[in-house]
Amino acid sequence: MTEIAYLNGEFLPLEKAQVSVLDRGFIFGDGVYEVIPVYSRRPFRLPEHLSRLQHSLDAIRLGNPMADADWTRLILELIGRHTGEDQSVYLQITRGVAKRDHAFPKDSKPTVFMMSGPLVTPSKDLVDNGVPCITAIDYRWLKCDVKSVSLLGNCLLRQSAADAGAVEVVLFRDGCLTEASASNVFVVRDGRLLAPPKNHLILPGITYDVVLEIASANGIPLESRIIPEQEVRTAQEIWITSSTKEVLPVTTLDGRPMGEGRPGALFRRIYALYQHYKQTVMRRAA
Ligand SMILES: Cc1ncc(COP(=O)(O)O)c(C=O)c1O
């Protein structure tokens, strides 16, 4: 079936969507993006995604080409043009086409691109048995709170996980946990849920916020604080979270079992609460 994309004001078949080789997204990775999960044809936490998009645009000094109401309308239209119940909407804005020069062009028009595909959440097997992860030094830049399309660092790190047969790579900067190549990381120690603080070293994950909200609403003790590497390695549980992975338990780190080497009790509780929350929110939106 032909996939429909959106490019600069028009809907068209994905394979027909083309941008110039001089687009600054292609030349410099000069752009930002969002990935929005869609359940039962309804975008999940759309206002939060649009607010993070604004944060990213502000950080790279690029004006938002549309008001939130227009984004919402276009995203709903894109979803409507696809048949899947659960989708993953990808949107990207670059600084547009200009003669190659590092400094910003004075009068380029941003390139706006969107596509949607099936949302593939982790299988029951992964949720029930957990996933292997490796670790690495976080050598990315110091603006990891910007959801930039310049993802070379993340790609190299993720490939090192793939090479090792692992699902993700858990990152440490200056001896402390940051996040993973495409997910946030949570740690459980002594019944407490620990999360690295939201700052320039991690992407402020939408799923990260959902997990913290659910934990807080259910009386699970939590702390948002700097987490030394040693506390990660000796934790009872580690989870990774993202819009497409939702919440996934890490059962081995660098080949060594985490806790008992099985998804922990707190993970199972949060996972059930997360699924319940999703259904409630989606029902309310219906
Ligand atoms: C580097 C990084 N951290 C965290 C996340 C999780 O963010 P979210 O929960 O909004 O998907 C992502 C998602 O792609 C990511 O790329």
**Does ligand 1 have an atom closer than 6 angstroms to the CB of 34?**
no
Mutate to test the pocket of ligand 1, among 46, 203, 240 (most ligand atoms within 8 A of CB): 203
Q: Flag whether pLDDT at 57 surpasses 80.
A: yes
What average pLDDT does the segment 234-259 reach?
98
Q: For tokens 């001896």, name the residue.
A: 175
Give residue 286's pLDDT.
Answer: 74
Please state the length of the chain. Answer: 286
Would residue 147 show up in a list of annotated catalytic residues for this protein? yes
Element (H, E) at 159: helix 152-163
**Structure token pair of residue 119:** 């949302």
**Does ligand 1 have an atom closer than 6 angstroms to the CB of 178?**
no
Give residue 281's pLDDT.
Answer: 85
Please identify which of the residues 99, 109, 143, 147 carries the catalytic annotation. 147
What average pLDDT does the segment 138-161 reach?
98
pLDDT tens readout for residues 186-216: 999 999 999 999 999 999 999 999 999 999 9
Element (H, E) at 111: strand 111-118
Reported confidence tier of residue 73, pLDDT bands at 50, 70, 90: very high
> Chain-wide mean pLDDT for the chain?
97
**Residues 6+ away with beta carbon under 8 Å from 165:** 132
Q: Which atom of ligand 1 is the closest one to the Cα of 154?
A: 1
**Does ligand 1 have an atom closer than 6 angstroms to the CB of 205?**
yes
**Residues 6+ away with beta carbon under 8 Å from 37:** 43, 44, 86, 87, 88, 89, 119, 243, 244
Reported confidence tier of residue 284, pLDDT bands at 50, 70, 90: confident
Report the nearest-CA residue for atom 4 of ligand 1: 183
Reported confidence tier of residue 1, pLDDT bands at 50, 70, 90: low
**Does ligand 1 have an atom closer than 6 angstroms to the CB of 250?**
no
What average pLDDT does the segment 43-48 reach?
98
pLDDT tens readout for residues 86-145: 999 999 999 999 999 999 999 989 999 999 999 999 999 999 999 999 999 999 999 999
pLDDT above 70: percentage of residues in the chain: 100
Q: Flag whether pLDDT at 283 surpasses 90.
A: no
